[in-house]
Amino acid sequence: MWIVLYVLLGLLGLFALVSVVTWLLYVPMIVRVFGEMPWLQAESAAPVTDAEPCEFTTADGVVLRGSYLRTTAAARLGVIGFCHEYSGDRWGAVPYTSDLRERGFDVFTFDFRNHGASDRTAGYEPMPWLTEYELADVRAAVDYLASREDADPAGIGLIGVSRGANAALCAAAGEERVRAVVTDGAFPIGAMQRHYMRRFMDIYITPWWIGRRLPDVCLKSYCGWANLVAGRRQKCRFASPEQFTRRVTQPVFMIHGERDAYIPRDVVQNLRSGLAGRSKLWMVPGAKHNGAIKQATREYHRRIARFFERHLAGGRTRAESLRRGPEPTGPRALAKAPTAERRPQAVPCTSNRDAPV
């Protein structure tokens, strides 16, 4: 019996030693990859001349600036907020939303803090990874759209690209004013970190066979510590969609490039599997990261328009809205807003994940 106890204690000590050694090796490596991983420089577009300039303040007192682009159609189907990618600005919305405006949707686009014309948060240097700051910015944008005189009582839709997609997805969690979400290039931070840890362990870990035998629970622990270290250095806290997906009950349309060199397919599918509501994933053939809009432009516009017409406009198309006449705005719209009991809600559908969205 004593021999068995000694063996167990020896194995426990060996496991503890291996854990400490790999922790000391892995955590600095994760922090380094976390801060140095290269990303594409975001593209922008020329400012829209008929845009209405807007200004609003976040919960932590940062002034953000954006533009409200009214639909060019005769009747409004709904309102869509756009969340630009890392290193971009509000005008990155133009290629993604110009068709939506023609179809009957108002579009609101804004600059995240430390981007474009918005104010800066001292000591914070933005990264491709979602933090508490970007999440606060999107939540403030939702509040702003709800406070406008021409606010749509039915709620809004959100569309985001890359880090902006993560911000839109997380902001939708538990937010009934957000009715539908489109993401292009969204990714969970934890799964991304573990993917690259497995990918580079042969380079950074000696002996390499130790790293390959580590279970995911160990890697998750190392990632957690690495996030704390990196967050202290960047003076922020990171937020991952993995923490919010179970509260995202709205329909979600996910778009991803089949040839995305940054975010592998299994990582995206893992993110989708965590969503509580209905979802659909469109893998665009031949598209790289954030390249779906260029690879399949007409199909891209058609699919996101159909999605928002179904889930934000109540199934109405532009032609149907023209027959019904323009929607009331301002005080008239607020007076006709549905009560809390009658207001349309996003219904969880975990057993019908592949239902049309």
More reliable by pLDDT, 289 or 323:
289
Residue with tokens 């009331």: 328
Summary mean pLDDT of the chain: 82
Domains defined for the chain, CATH in brackets: 2-36+202-234 (no CATH), 52-188+240-324 (3.40.50.1820)
Q: How many CB atoms lie within 10 A of CB 231?
A: 17
d(CA 278, CA 20): 42
* More confident position, 166 or 266: 166
> Which of 72, 239, 100, 112 is closest to 156 using CA atoms?
100
Q: What is the pTM of this model?
A: 0.80
Does a cis peptide bond (omega within 30 degrees of 0) precede residue 207? yes
pLDDT digits (tens, 9 = 90+) for 70-124: 999 999 999 999 999 999 999 999 999 999 999 999 999 999 999 999 999 998 9
More confident residue, 172 or 237: 172
Q: Residue 192's pLDDT is what?
A: 78
Q: Which residue has the higher pLDDT, 350 or 92?
A: 92
Residue 305 has pLDDT above 50, yes or no: yes
235 Rama class: left (phi>0) / alpha (psi -120 to 50) / beta: left
Residue 332 confidence class, pLDDT cut points 50, 70, 90: very low
